[in-house]
Amino acid sequence: MSVHSILRLKQVSLAALIGSDFLLQDISFEIKPKDKLAIIGASGAGKTSLLRILNRLNTPTEGEIFFQAAPWGKIAAIQLRRQIVLVTQEPKLLGMTVEEALNYPLQLQKLSMAEIRQRLDTWSNMLHIPQEWLNKTELELSLGQRQLVAIARGLMMQPKILLLDEPTSALDVGIANHLLSVLNHLNQTQDLTIVMVNHQLELIKDFADRVLYLVAGRLEEDIPATEIVWQRLRQRLLQEQKDHDQEWL
């Protein structure tokens, strides 16, 4: 294993709960500190399943994973998830107000209220979360607003790796570009490693350092962003999405 890796997967597979199919099969790659990694593929390619494995919400059927050179399975789940934070595509606030939801993970870590307040103010300002949102519940927020709150909650935990599942899908272009600008700044100044599932190629082509291309649960390509012909990649992705949709008609 490379001494420079922060996370490494070796021949990882994930079987479906029903039947003999695999959601992921024979996946191997490594992530280095400060990587900005995009995961793309048609619907059903296994993108979300892969993110959930990295955060240990899914456990591989086969293969090995190492985090900072340590066997992934020997690290307590709660410790792992504080360092590898996953923001889901449709986040929930679990009946809490925005402020309660932002504070809750840090309260579990027994941080002081002064520290929690400082982080809340920092990330609310950086992500342009208005003060009037803080007393709202998820029923009073749009999906895009909930996504932004969930990303702030993840950043408040100061993880080593931030996993994002379609973080810009419900954001308008201006907010999405601001979010990626903030993430890029954190990547450069705080060594934040970012792994993002995103189908919006026009956004990731100027953000990602590398792209993982999944097809039917297999890693087809691991490509430096500078080597990608984006128009060709877009056409391939559209065709594979069309083929997938026709299978389900």
CATH number at residue 84: 3.40.50.300
Q: What is the 3-state secondary structure (H, E, C) of 106-127?
A: HHHCCCCHHHHHHHHHHHHHHC
pLDDT at 29 exceeding the cut of 60: yes
Other CB atoms within 10 A of residue 119 CB: 19
Q: Can you give the length of the chain in residues?
A: 249
End-to-end CA distance of the chain: 44
**Which pLDDT value is given to residue 20?**
66
CA distances from 230 to 169, 201, 239 (A): 19, 8, 14
CA 119/CA 102 separation, integer angstroms: 9
User: Is 64 in contact with 12 (CB distance < 8 Å)?
Assistant: yes
- Is a pLDDT exceeding 70 seen at residue 187? yes
CA distances in angstroms from 112 to 32, 121, 131, 135, listed in the order given: 32, 14, 21, 21
Domain with 137 in it:
7-247
Q: Report how many domains make up the chain.
A: 1
pLDDT at residue number 1: 45
Lowest mean pLDDT among 19-28, 159-168, 201-210, 214-223: 19-28
Distance in angstroms (rounded) separating the CA atoms of residues 76 and 124:
30
Share of the chain above pLDDT 90, in %: 86
Residue 58 in any domain: the answer is yes
Residue 61 lies in a domain: yes
Residue 2 placed within a domain = no
Residue 64 bridge partners (DSSP): 10
CB atoms within 10 A of CB 200: 16
Domain annotation covers residue 234: yes
Note whether residue 195 is domain-resident.
yes
pLDDT at 128 over 80: yes
Q: How far apart are CA 108 and CA 131, in angstroms?
A: 23
Sequence-distant (≥ 6) Cβ neighbours of residue 130 within 8 angstroms: none
Summarize the confidence of residues 25-52 as an average pLDDT: 95
Residue 2: the pLDDT is: 47
Cα 98 from Cα 18, distance rounded (Å): 37
Per-residue pLDDT, 133: 96
Asked if the model's pLDDT at residue 87 lies above 60, the reply is: yes
Confidence bin at 131 (pLDDT 50/70/90)? very high
> d(Cα 112, Cα 107) in Å, to the nearest integer?
8
- At 151, phi and psi to the nearest 5? -65, -40
pLDDT for the residue numbered 246: 78
Sign of the alpha-carbon torsion through 160, 166, 172, 173: positive
Does residue 135 sit within a domain? yes
**Pairing between β-strand 84-87 and β-strand 218-224 as defined by DSSP bridges:** unpaired
1 located within any domain: no
Contact in structure between 53 and 223 (CB atoms under 8 Å): no
Residue written as token pair 């890796």: 5
Alpha carbon distance 206, 136 (integer Å)? 34
Q: Rounded to an integer, what is the distance from CA 195 to the centroid of its chain?
A: 5
